[in-house]
Amino acid sequence: MNGHPIREEDFDLLALGALDADERRELEAHVASCAACAAKLAEARGRIALLAAAAPPAAPSAAVKQRLMQQVRAEARPARAAREKETSPSLFGKWWFAVLAPAGAVLAIATILLWNENRKLDRELADLHASVQQQEQQLHEAREVADLITSSDTVTVALSPQPGMPKGTAHVMYNMKMGMLMYEGVMTPPAAEKSYQLWIMPAQGKPISAGVFNPVSGQSDHWMMKMPQGIEPKAFTITLEPSGGMPQPTGPMVMMGSPS
């Protein structure tokens, strides 16, 4: 057997003794040298033990038991009649095991296969739920962008490159009533260990960070954010800061724009 067993149920089948001789030898040889697979086999044996303990008792019908006892008495020699009482329970016990063991093994295998299938379905359902949530989030963001762009209260501010600074085109759209701000632009990537940082310059108070970004050459950057309540911008600027941004502007101003 090359590598790890592909099927998880192989461990359960080995624990049940349901593998053929060749498969059993290959898996046992692999488990002997693989701690991870040995742990999986131990888990499988634990599950089988729990299933065996939880399985409801099954009794053969009275007619079947009667036919078996008649056959035992008919085949017993008179000289062993005195010991028939002792031997009959032993034979019956063997018959009992022969009937119940295969049925129990089939039930255990079916239960394990169903358990594995349910686990697979649970994972697929979780993935589907995550995908639906992601699509809903994307739809919500698309609606916000559409509402912001089409609103008559939205203000668009073009940002102009400053002399001697990296080139690019960018603009900010904001709506005080909606409390939303959107940035979109294409800029030259910053130097190593540097980041661009967008700032809201309020009429009063300190600059407010509105996003840190590291553009990729030729690709557009785009994001939306909530506007701070009660803040009316007098300008927007982009500065060059240490990688990851700063609490307040420290680097040179790269781009700037003011509401008209």
pLDDT of residue 58: 55
Task: Give all domains of the chain, ordered by start, each with its CATH number.
Answer: 155-257 (2.60.40)
Cβ-in-10-Å burial (0-12, 13-18, 19+) of 76 comes to middle
Residues in CB range of 134: below 8 A, 6 or more apart: none
pLDDT of residue 160: 94
Q: The whole model's pTM is what? A: 0.51
DSSP 258: -
What DSSP element (H or E) covers 94?
Answer: helix 84-150
207-230: b (≥16 Cβ within 10 Å) or e: bebbbebebeeeeebeeebebeee
Residues of the chain with pLDDT under 50: 1, 79, 84, 86-89, 91-92, 95-96
pLDDT of residue 79: 47
CB 213 within 8 A of CB 255: no
Query: Bridge partners of 163?
Result: none
Residues in CB range of 144: below 8 A, 6 or more apart: 180, 224
103-123: b (≥16 Cβ within 10 Å) or e: ebbebbbebbeeeeeeeeeee
CB 63 within 8 A of CB 71: no
pLDDT of residue 101: 57
pLDDT of residue 69: 62
- In tens, the pLDDT along 220-237 reads 999 999 988 888 899 999
- In tens, the pLDDT along 49-106 reads 666 555 555 555 666 556 656 665 665 555 455 554 544 445 445 544 555 555 656 6
